Chains A and B, each alone.
Chain A
Amino acid sequence: MNADQQHQLDELLSALCDGAASDTQVAALAKILEQSQEARRYYAEYLVLHGDLSWEMPARLAVADGGLAHADTGLAPQAPLASLMEPAGPALTWGAWIRQPWVASLSIAAALMLAVLATMGMLGMPQPGEGPAGAPQYVARMSRTLHCIWKDGGLAKADGADLFVGQELDLLEGTAVITFDSGAQVILEGRTTFRIDSALSGRLGLGKLSARVPSPASGFTIASTCANVIDRGTEFGVQVAESQDTRVHVFAGKVDVEVLSRSGHIVSTEGLAAGEGLQLLADSRKFEAAPALPAEFSREFPSLDDLPITPAYVKTIMAAKPAGYWRCEQLGSHVPNQVGPGYPARVVGALGLVSGAGNRALRFDGAGGYLMVDEAIEDFGRGDYSIEFWMLPEQFHYSTLISLHVPPTAETKAQYDHHGVIELQADTGVAARDVRRIRFLHRSPPGTAGGTNVFSAQRYVLQNWQHVVALKQADELKLYLNGQPVASQLEPSKFTQSPLLGIGRLVHPGTRADRPFRGMLDEIAIYKRALSADEIMKHYRLVENARQ
């Protein structure tokens, strides 16, 4: 084929794959294919590629929420048998479910085979998932992958992919960081086989992993054939050899190791402290002390080093003329406003300052410490406006990141009325929009109820830095996550009063609904204009590119 023919073939095949080929184009394609064996080979390669990419598709299904396909609910490869035999929960249609290629992968005949075999006692019946109506329960997320090759392919295990109870991971090469919904994180190093068991546990079949467990996830457990390694607030590593010999290394804090008999009963429990380790022989279940060897493990968990704020980023933000820009590099009685002497943010309660390589960020411990700009931001919200920041949530919880409120008056007494908030939604809720979404509320006149909400189509994730921009442009509210628009809503009203600014908690004294944030915030900027989509993407890219 010459270049023109190749180009024409590419166009026709692309149209075919995207369902856009007209009858004329199909006829033209047929003619080329009938005449050329080389074109037929190319067709085969092209369509197999298209199929390969489609095969990787199944982890996400469209649900009736905002029209975007995302991962609130869904089924994925290697789903338990129970989910193959009946339609999933009410959020899914049978049609959407059955169209997923993984259903084909273990379709009716294969499922029947397995059912027959299980009945005959020839195979262990797969454990049912924990979700309703057989739907997989997603309890973890792939936070970061580096040079990963998965045994079964792996686009569905790309960065950001949701992982479900019972999901088996077979990593041939590379490293992968998994963040569980409990906040615990593990780093797998190839070759390693690992199974997700719950938000608080996993099974290491072979290879090695390191785990870092924050206090809310205390009790997080890594199981192997001959031991359960139980976190007591720590960082540790586990290795499992082909022989199933298991070695435990404690890098910080403490762990308990339950030594298991062949029948799975606990025969003893050993407590280990930082620097200590244990070598356990699978054959005899004998064990002996062995020093922890931290250098043998990859321990580069996502951290503040993943938020490299360069001088170019700061310069770009300043050039965008913010009304206030709190870089969060210092923590005294106030956090200074980078733009000028006005609008310093007063520190209320306890806050932490976390240092990384070349950057610092504020840590909110969820106990109620927050920042307060006591001076009303003059004319903010009377026209277009934008609020921009970076966040790293440590748990799924209902919390306030930004509070735009007006001070109490004689009429409102002690009550703080709100013109707007940016919040994180918790892990549970009635509607999908309530679960793990970012909420942006614009309310005018200020009050304690009403207003217009937008909720992000995508969920926020734990233990990863995410870039958030909420803005109002003319009659529209828009929300951006990591440079991408994720929600919008019409709202013509403007603020009637210049608001005060609260950061890290709902400023609403006297009520129980303080909604304290637990996690880190950095580079908080507000603008009396709407940032453009290009500007937002540029700001996000400046950090993303500096990471690589």
Chain B
Amino acid sequence: MAEPPLPIADCVRELTSLQRPLYLYIFSLVPQPADADDLVQETNRVIWEKIGDFRPGTSFSAWAYKIAFYEVLTYRKRKRRESLRFSDDLVENLAAEVEGVLQDSTPRRQALQDCLGRMSEGNRQIVARRYLEGADVRSVAEQVGRSEKAVYHALGRIRSWLLECMRRRMAVEAAV
């Protein structure tokens, strides 16, 4: 580990407070949960290894995202033989957009809380089973007594509705 540029407790605080956005950043570019988790771990390791390179007074999150992005690119090179997906240029553009979205993390999370609270009980059940219990679509379908196709459609509609609801909520908050 390089000599930390900040008091070590501050480094820990910065890094621990960044864990959720770091996960979201990586998961948005690599939406496979297991791979994303591995990448977050690896990114944490590299961040700590390079902590001496961080310049106080600059953005810790931007610096960390840059490291995460290189980890994503390395991962993509490793996986290239498995499937040809988005180009590196596209991933770079998407990463910039994701970083922009993550800047609004507090109002976005509050909006998400609010919108989750407004959902119907049936939709809340589907979300809870899919995400809270980590069930796949087939299991959710079995649990709620609907077809797999119906649950796929429902999840799509729920996510689109949540996004729209969050946008409206954040717009109202910003206008106050």
Contacts and interface: CB of A to CB of B under 8 A. Distances in A.
Interface of A: 10-11, 13-20, 23, 26, 30, 33-34, 37, 40-57, 59-62, 67-70, 95, 98-101, 103-110, 112-114, 117, 122-123, 147-150, 152-156, 158, 161, 484-485, 533, 544
Contact of B127 (A11, A53, A104, A110): A53
B47 A533 contact: no
Contacts of A113: 11-12, 15, 48
A163 to B, nearest CB: 14
B12 A117 contact: yes
A544 B121 contact: yes
B28 A47 contact: yes
B159 A46 contact: yes
A21 to B, nearest CB: 10
B100 A101 contact: no
B66 interface: no
B101 interface: yes
Contacts of A49: 112, 159, 162-163, 166
Chain A interface mostly helix, strand, loop or mixed? Answer: helix
B33 interface: yes
B108 A60 contact: no
A61 B134 contact: yes
Given A45-B101, A104-B23, A18 B137 contact: yes
Contacts of B29: 47
Closest 4 CB pairs of A and B: A14-B156, A104-B40, A109-B44, A47-B28
Interface in B40-66: 40-41, 44-45, 47-48
Contacts of A100: 37
A108 B41 contact: yes
Interface residues of B, number: 69
A56 B121 contact: no
A88 B95 CA distance: 34
A53 B109 CA distance: 10
B159 A50 contact: yes
B1 to A, nearest CB: 8
A30 B23 contact: no
B37 A112 contact: no
Given A54-B33, A55-B24, A107 B44 contact: yes
Given A14-B159, A57-B131, A101-B33, A484 B143 contact: yes
A34 B85 CA distance: 12
B24 A48 contact: yes
Interface in B120-143: 121, 125, 127-128, 130-137, 139, 143
